[in-house]
């Protein structure tokens, strides 16, 4: 491949939140979005044999369910949600939200997230088609996206599955991993590349006094 390389990144917010919850517990750290994006573009540039300046993230999208304002206020989530949105905005990430619902079943409250996976897949496929990305990077471990990966490959778009499996997080779907072909498992990558973990993670200095929401 020669010339400018265009990258589209699509983040499954529920999966991303699981990674950060585990990182907070294990490392007292969270992902630096800017550093992660930098790693992605530099690695693709290196694999393609082009200058990093010619390998750019054209668009990045984040999908997640969230509570309505009143519910978020009652649950003391508004500050954390806005703080995380600031991080997305600062890194030119377009966020997509659908409202969560709470249902009472057998005396227990269950949080229902409907339609996010379908929206994620439809947007990723449609944007990849119209924007003509050279690469699409999917940050997810959900088996429901196996067909999305297959469709992207049919468009001859190089598709990367980026995961970070840690203790307490769900393992990546074997079906998704096999379909993707290009799979970057970050827990293995940071173990091989000296100093990478420190660059990718932001250490929480005052975690106890100012707890961050689960998206961080």
Percent of the chain with pLDDT over 70: 81
For residue 216, name the pLDDT band (cuts at 50, 70, 90): very low
In this predicted structure, what is the pLDDT of residue 3? 74
Mean pLDDT, residues 182-202:
92
Rounded distance between C-alpha atoms, residue 39 and residue 148, angstroms = 24
Q: What does the pLDDT read at residue 207?
A: 47
Is the predicted pLDDT of residue 210 greater than 90, yes or no?
Answer: no
Token pair belonging to 144: 């429901």
Say whether 44 sits in a helix, a strand or coil: helix
At 3 the three-state DSSP class reads coil
Q: Is the pLDDT of residue 214 over 60?
A: no
Mean pLDDT of the chain: 86
Distance CA 7, CA 182 (A): 14
pLDDT of residue 51: 95
Alpha helices per DSSP H over 75-173: 78-90, 116-131, 146-154
Domain 5-62+115-203, CATH number (from 3.40.50.1010, 2.60.40.2230, 2.60.220.10, 3.40.50.10490): 3.40.50.1010
Instruction: Please tell me the predicted confidence (pLDDT) of residue 30.
Output: 92
**Stretch 141-153: mean pLDDT, rounded?**
92
Mean per-residue pLDDT, 183-208: 86
Question: What's the full length of the chain, in residues?
Answer: 216
Per-residue pLDDT tens over the stretch 7-42: 999 999 989 988 998 999 898 999 999 999 999 999
- Ordered by start, the domain boundaries in the chain are 5-62+115-203
How do residues 150-180 score in pLDDT, each as one tens digit?
999 999 999 999 999 986 555 678 888 888 8
Taking only the tens place, the pLDDT of each residue in 70-97 is 766 566 667 877 888 899 999 999 999 8
């Amino acid at each position: 491949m020669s010339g400018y390389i265009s990258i589209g990144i699509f983040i499954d917010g529920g999966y991303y939140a699981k990674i950060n919850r585990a990182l907070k517990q294990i490392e007292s750290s969270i992902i630096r979005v800017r550093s992660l994006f930098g790693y992605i573009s530099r690695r693709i540039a290196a694999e393609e044999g082009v200058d990093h300046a010619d390998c750019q993230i054209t668009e990045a999208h984040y999908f997640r369910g969230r509570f309505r304002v009143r519910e978020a206020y009652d649950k003391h989530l508004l500050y954390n949600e806005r703080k995380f949105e600031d991080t997305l905005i600062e890194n030119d990430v377009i966020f997509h939200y659908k409202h969560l619902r709470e249902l009472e079943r057998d005396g227990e409250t269950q949080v229902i997230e409907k339609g996010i996976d379908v929206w994620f897949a439809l947007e990723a496929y449609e944007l990849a088609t119209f924007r003509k990305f050279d690469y699409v990077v999917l940050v997810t471990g959900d088996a429901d996206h196996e067909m999305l990966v297959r469709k992207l490959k049919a468009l001859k778009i190089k598709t990367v599955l980026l995961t970070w499996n840690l203790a307490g997080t769900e393992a990546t779907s074997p079906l998704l991993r096999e379909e993707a072909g290009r799979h970057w498992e970050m827990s293995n990558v940071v173990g091989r590349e000296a100093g990478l973990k420190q660059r990718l993670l932001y250490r929480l200095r005052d975690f106890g006094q100012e707890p961050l929401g689960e998206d961080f």
